[in-house]
Amino acid sequence: MATIFSRIVAGEIPCHKVAEDEEFFAFLDINPVAKGHTLVIPKQETDYIFDLEDPLLGRMMAFAKRVARAQEAVIPCKRVGVAVMGLEVPHAHIHLIPITKESDMYFGGEKMTITQDELAEVAALIRKAYK
């Protein structure tokens, strides 16, 4: 059975898409810890990120870097923080989070309150800045 993230890539479940190429897909996290919180996934279904073959993992990080550059361009932040957990969704993904302080990357607390319209607006900004 396809993972929820594969179903997003297939267009079966809606998302706020940020970027895509042949191998990877980026979209906003539905429960962001900070504005612009984005997930980068390989289209290939693999649960654990460190089970990906080295070349694919390298290309995934290069793709994530391009997404991060776009986030930096449009979301006020000091830098883009990177996290990998995968405890909830068994499809490898990198969290890219625009941050100004350490606590912006705290996953254990209250999530941001953000509307679908606001998510759509943020996604459009990042998408436009993505090169």
Span of 46-54, 55-63, 73-81, 83-91 interacting with ligand AMP by CB under 6 A: 83-91
> What's the per-residue H, E or C state across 81-104?
EEECCCCCCCCCCEEEEEECCHHH
C-alpha count within 13 angstroms, C-beta hemisphere, residue 49: 18
Residues 50 and 110: their CA atoms lie apart, in Å, by: 29
Binding of ligand AMP at residue 31 (CB under 6 A)?
A: yes
Identify which of residues 39 and 126 has a Cβ nearer to ligand AMP in the complex: 39
Binding of ligand AMP at residue 10 (CB under 6 A)?
A: no
Binding of ligand AMP at residue 89 (CB under 6 A)?
A: yes
At residue 25, the 3 state secondary structure works out as: strand
Identify which of residues 29 and 75 has a Cβ nearer to ligand AMP in the complex: 29
User: For residue 3, how many other CB atoms are within 10 A of its CB?
Assistant: 17
Binding of ligand AMP at residue 123 (CB under 6 A)?
A: no
Binding of ligand AMP at residue 4 (CB under 6 A)?
A: yes
Q: Does 93 qualify as catalytic in the annotation?
A: yes
